[in-house]
Structure 1
Amino acid sequence: MLREREEEEEAKERKKQDRRARVKEAAYQERLRDWEARERRKAKEHEKEKERERLKEEDREREAKRLKEFLEDYDDERDDAKYYKGRELQRRLAEREKEIEQDGRDRQREKEELEELKTKIFSEEHDDPSAEFERMKQEREEQYKPKILIDVKLEHSRQRERERERERERERERQNKEEEEELERQAAEFEQQAAAMISSPPPPEPTESTQESDDDRGADQFTSPVATHDHPLGAEEESQTSVVSSGGEEKAVIKIWNSPVQQQQQQQPSTPGPTTAAPPPGKQKKKLDLKEVFNTDDDDDSNLGSGKKRKLVPLDYGEEKKKKEEKKEEVTKSQEEKRKHIKTLIEKIPTEKAALFAFQLDWAAVDNQLMERRIRPWINKKIIEYIGEPEPTLVDFICSKVLAGSAPQGILDDVQMVLDEEAEVFVVKMWRLLIYEIEAKKLGLMK
C-alpha cells in the first residue's frame, strides 16, 4: 500500500511538472511571436523611414541641381525681365523683407546664446576662460556651418559611372558590329584570293581566220607519209603533230587525220603536176628539217599534187576548263569552311569580363611575329583613338606585358591611370583579339 501511494504521488508530481512545462513553453512561444511581430514591424518602419529619407535627399539634390543649372544658364539681359520685374519683382521683394526679418531674429538669438555661453564659462572654474569660450564658439560655428547638399565630386563620379555604363553598352554593340564586319571582310578577302587563283585565262582558241590563213599558207605541206584512210572521221578528232627526239636528233613525225572537208577536196579535180612518190613502209618516220616541215612556199603545192588538205580543228579545252571549274569549287568550298570556322571561333570567345579574363590562353603561341603583325597595330590604332596622338612608349609597355604573359587585370590596373574610363573597354577588346589570334593560329586560320 505504501509503495502504491508513493507511485501515485510521483505520478501526480510528474503531471504537475509537465503541466508547468507546457504553460512555460506556451508563454515562451507567445512572447516569441510577439517579439518577432515587433521586430518585423520595426524593420518595416525602418525601411519606410530610410525610403522617406532617400526620397527627401533626392528631392533636395534635384532642387539643388535645378538651382545650379538655373544660375549657370542665367542671363541678366534675357532673364531679368522674367524674374525681377513687375509682379515677380514685388513677390520677391516681399520674400526678401521676410527673409531680412528672419535673419535679424536669428542673429539676435545667436547673440543671446553666445552671451549665455560666455556667462556660463566665466562662472565656472577654468584655467583660461577666454580660450575655453573661443573653443566652444568654434565648435558651435562648425555645428551650424552650412553643408553642401550636392557633393560635386560624388555627382560627377555617378555621372561618369552612368556614362561609362552607356559607353560599355555602345561598345558591346560596336564590337559585335565590328566582328561581323571583320568576318565579312575576311570572307571578301577569301573570295578575292579564290578569284585571283582562278582568274588566269585559258590559252586563246584559234579563230576561224587564223585557221584559214594556216590552211592557205602551209596546209599542203602537212601531207601524211603513210597510207590515207578512205573513211571520213569526225570533225572533232584532233590533228596531232609530234617531234620525236632520238640519239640527239629531232625527227618530225606528222600525223594527219582526214576530215569531211578533206573528202570534199578529194572529190574536186586536182591540177595535174608532178607528184611525190609515197615512201616505202620502212621509212615512214623520215628525218626532216624544220624548214621543210613548216615550209611556207605556196608554189610547192604542185610537188604535193596527190596530198590531201586538212582544215585545222581548234583544240578542245573542255577537260582543262572542267579541271579549273573543279579547282574553283574546291577553293570556294575551302573558303566557306574557313568562314564557318572563324564564325564558330568568334562565338566561342566570352563577352563578359570575368569569363573573358578567366579564359585559359596558350601562351606558347604568343610570339614576336604574332605581336608585330596582329596585336601591336591594333593597340597603336586604339591608343591614337583614345588619346588623340601616338604613344609609342605606352604601346611598347602594353606589348611587353602581353608577351610576358601578364594577367589582364594587371594590365587594366596599369593603363587605368592613362586611359581612365576607357581602360576597361580597351583591355577587354584587346584580350578578345588576343584569344582570337591565338586560337586562329592553332587552327591554321591565319593568313
Structure 2
Amino acid sequence: MTLPEGGVVTLTEQLPSGRMRPAWTRIGRGQMHYTNSQMKLDQLIGYFNARKINLIPPFQRGHVWKLSARQRLLENMVSGRPIPAIFLYKEPVGSTFEYNILDGKQRLESLILFIGNNRKDMSVTSVKDYFFNKRERNQIHFEIDVDGRKTEFKSLSDEVVREFREYAIPTIEIDLDDETSLDEIINLFVDINQQGEKVKRFDIVKAIGRKNKLLSSVFELVAQQTTRKQDKYFKPKNTAYSRVLEKLQAIETVSDPSQKVDRMWERLFEIALMSRTGKHRQPNQILKTFIKADEGDDTEALSAGEKAKLQRVFAFLDTSYDQTALGQSRLARDLPHFYTMVTTLLTSDLLDADNAPPDYPGVRKKLVSFSKMIKAGAKPPKDQAMDEALKEYIGAASRQTTHPGRRQTREQKFLEILGKI
C-alpha cells in the first residue's frame, strides 16, 4: 500500500500468512515506523464506547465534512467497498487514550453519527459527547441510500448489520524514533491527508499552538505570519533567536521558510522546556505531546522572567557570533554542542558570575577557547583532568546524543572544562 501521489513512503506489504510486515522509513534525520493492520468495525465501536480513541489531538484541524460526504462514505462501507486507511498514533500503556487520530477523524466521526444509539445490537454510547458543533449534532442518525431507499442505521436488516459489524477498516499505526523532527511530522500529516480540503502547514501549526501555550509563546519569538496572494504561511523574524538558531546546520540547510521556522521553534521549545523544568528530555518524547490529548504541567505560556532569561542568553550569543569566530564553530553549528551550550548558559550561574552584561567577555572568551578544543584535529589539553573531561564530553556528543543521561553528562563536563579554562 502506498500513500497518495506526493506522499512520503511505500508502506508494508502482505506476507503469505496474511499478516502485514512492519516497516519503517527514513525522513530527513529520523525514522518513522509504520505497522499496517486492520480493525473490525465492532472492535472500533468498542474502543469508542470505552473512550480509548482521541478524536481531537492538536494536529487535527476544525474542518467539518458536509453531510453528502458522510453519506457517500457510509454507503460505500455498507456496500462492502474499501475506504482509505486511518492513521493512528498509539499511546504508551497507562495513557488516557490508547490511540490518537492523525488522519481519518472525519471518517470516524461519520461512523459515530450514522450508527448513533438507536439499536441494541450495535450503538455508540454518549454520541453527543463527541460533537460540540450544532451542525454536526443535527446530523446524528443521518440517512443513506440503500437499494434506492433512504435508510437510517436502525432500519437496516439484521443481516446487513451483522456484515457491517465485520467490516475491516485498514489502519496504519505510526511510531517515532529519537531523531524524528517536528517539521517531518507536519510533512507526514500534510501528505497523508486524503479526504476533504487539502490541509496546510499553516493550519496545523496554528492548531498545535492553540493546545500548547508554551509552544505558542516560543513560536512568537522566532516567527511571523505573512500572506502571499491567498496563501498564509510563517517566516522567520529577524531577531537574536532566529539569527542564532539559523546558524545550526540542520536549520541553515532548509530552504523552505515554513519548514525553517518549524525547526527553529522546535529547537527553541526544547530549550525553553529544559530551562523551565531543569530536565533533559528526548526530542521524540516532546514531539509526542503535540499529537496526544493530555495537557501536561509544562504547557503554560512563557512568563516575563522566562522570556528575559532566554533573551539574555540569545542576545549574548548573537553578539558573540558576530564579533568572534564562535558563530562558525561546532558550538554554533552542531546541535548536540549547541543544545549543551545554550541550556548550560540558561541553568548555570556562568553569566551571573561574569557580572559584565551584556557582552560577558569572560564567558565569551571561555566559549571561544572551548570551541577550539572540540575542533577536528585539535591537540588534546595538557592538563590530564581536563583531557579526561573533554574525552567524556566528546563521547557523549558523538553517540545517542539526545539521550537525557548523555545530555546531562555533556552539561557536567562542559561546566567542568569551562571552569578550568
More strand by share: 2
Relative to the length of structure 2, the TM-score reads 0.20
Q: Which has the higher contact order (CA 8 A, sep 6+)?
A: 2
Q: Which structure carries more helix by proportion?
A: 1
Larger radius of gyration: 1
Provide TM-score, normalisation by structure 1: 0.19
